Structure 1
Amino acid sequence: MIAKYGVKWACQQGGERLQKDLDRVQGWANKNKMHFNTDKCRVLHLGRSNQQHTYKMGNSLVESTEAERDLEVIIDSKMNMGQQYEVTVGRANRTLSCIHRCISSRAKEVILPLYATLVSPQLEYCVQFWAPHFKRDVDNIERVQRRATHMIQGQQGRPYNERLWDLNLFSLHKRRLRGDLVTVYKLTRGDQKSLRETLFPLAPPRITRNNGHKLLESRFRLDIRKNYFTVRANRIWNQLPREVVLAPTLVVFKKRLDAYLAGVI
């Protein structure tokens, strides 16, 4: 009971601090004779125990919302990325349909560059944040690339894995894995390594077998936490061979990583 009231008190304090920040922002706007359009302001309440505080901007209440788009990524109050999957797959399929209707050639030299330029970026934008982990979502996204490879002349009727091998492509699952590891390299050994201690602390020396540069793996009771980028990436990074992890530059790392991933999964 004490813990329960303690959580409620902390939530109440957090709501009050946020309202004070909004008041300061509104005061700054009034002082500089500016105006906020409160119709475009929303509150997204996160967490099961959220007390759903109401907030004000000046004399106007800020409306609450169940989902919000930020930098083209849709986030809902349950941190369920289902809407993001649907929007991404729908947009990519529409682009692929446009290519199918407007381009008469089915040559590999034509379809692959169009796919890589117009479709693939949609499937990989900010994917470190919203990467799917349920099988149905993984399969739905993978179907986009299946469809694209099936459009290419000479690939119809062949198994998907053979198409990927012949076209020198990774599956989208492997592409997401590669993107995670490239980002980890930048944050731990590349030009952004100043963030390493915050996001990817090193493991204690006594358990740094294998690649010699292991990251600390945390344990969580909730399955959803296991799929966070800073958690899932640690586990994969620690399984990489030593020669991949200790690559001197990002370019060399990508080449060694591609060679390693070509033989796994």
Structure 2
Amino acid sequence: MPTYDGAETTLETVECEKDVGVNIDSKLKFDKHIQTQVNKANQLVGLIRRSFRYLDDKSFCLLFKALVRPHLEYASSVWSPYKKKDIESVENVQRRATKMLPNLKDLSYEESLKLLKLPTLRYRRLRGDMIETYKILNNIYDERASSGIFTLSSGSTTRGHSLKLVKNRSRLDLKQYYFTNRVVEVWNSFPETIVTAKNIQKKTR
């Protein structure tokens, strides 16, 4: 019988396990987690629709940001979708939700977001990735947990800023979309003033 932490315990093989609110499947594709969160978010959109006879733009934004969007963003750096169907599945929650507003029913999704001053959820995930990268590289997290996640470029002829990252090669397509790989190109494209900003709230011209 195998042992675990000194106690005789049989470890069960499972296809999916929930840890800190994220459903992690055996292939690290996060299909179940994405579908679960999309279903929860859609249920809350339906609850808002049934609970409010009339919504103006301001009330809609407050409710969507507080009740719906967190389900589609929590720990997204871990499970961020890379398949087109999953990206659209997540985005469609916000797309359908905007149609609750009478003044937006005949507008395109892009036009609706512009009037509501809301970004796409895809953009929000990218922004979240960049914030996480900034925090890791600037040692905002405990170094015992964040040390070694990224490799800084050491080439003397490398163009770009002083915190340029090295992108690891991978034989598997799936690994290309891991957090540590997918953020590299965007992060490396930033100017020095962004990556060395004193804090994430600092605005640059």
Number of the residue aligned with 2:72: 123
Q: Distance in 1 between matches of 2:51 and 2:57?
A: 16
Q: Distance in 1 between matches of 2:169 and 2:69?
A: 33
Task: After TM superposition, list the pairs within 5 Å mapping 1:154-165 onto structure 2.
Answer: 154-165=103-114
User: Deviation of residue 237 (structure 1)?
Assistant: 0.6
Percentage of pairs with the same residue: 33
Deviation at 1:192, TM superposition (A): 2.5
Find the residue that maps to 1:214 and give its secondary structure: coil
What residue is the counterpart of 1:97 in the other structure? 46
Q: What is the CA–CA distance in structure 1 between the aligned matches of 2:39 and 2:52, rounded to whole Å?
A: 20
SS in 2 for 1:113: helix
Decide whether the 8 Å contact of 1:108 with 1:153 is kept in 2: no
Describe the shift of the 1:207–1:164 C-alpha distance in structure 2 as closer, same or farther (beyond 3 A). farther
Establish whether residue 198 from structure 1 lines up as the match of residue 148 from structure 2.
Answer: yes
Once structures 1 and 2 are overlaid, which stretch shifts more, 122-131 or 214-223? Answer: 214-223
Note the C-alpha offset of 1:62.
3.8
State how 1:118-197 maps to structure 2 within 5 Å: 118-192=67-141, 194=143, 197=147
1:248 positional shift: 1.6
Aligned length: 204
Q: Tell me the amino acid that sits aligned with residue 28 of structure 2.
A: M
Describe the superposition over 1:140-195 as per-residue Cα deviations: whole angstroms up to 9, x where unpaired: 10000101222224111111111112211111110000000000111112523736
Cα distance in 2, alignment partners of residues 190 and 173 from structure 1: 26
Secondary structure of 2:99 counterpart: helix
Q: Which one-letter code corresponds to 1:237 in the other structure? A: W
More helix by share: 1
Q: Which runs of 5+ in 1 are unaligned?
A: 1-15, 27-55, 260-265
TM-score (norm 1): 0.71
Larger Rg: 1
Give the structure-2-normalised TM-score: 0.91
Show the counterpart of 1:106.
Answer: 55
Segments of structure 2 that go 5 or more residues without pairing to the other structure are none
Larger relative contact order (Cα-Cα within 8 Å, sequence gap ≥ 6): 2
Letter in 2 for 1:201: T
| Worse overlay, 115-124 or 218-227 | 218-227
Deviation per residue, 1:114-144 (Å, 9 max, x gap): 0000000000011100110000000010000
Structure 1 pair 129–88 and aligned structure 2 pair: CA distance change class (3 A): same
Counterparts of 1:200-239 in structure 2 under 5 Å? 200-239=150-189
Return the letter of the residue paired with 1:223: D
Q: Following the alignment from structure 1 to structure 2, what is the Cα–Cα distance between the partners of residues 124 and 217?
A: 25
Pairwise CA RMSD: 2.0
The letter of the residue matching 2:137 is T
Structure 1 residue 107, shift from structure 2 partner: 0.0
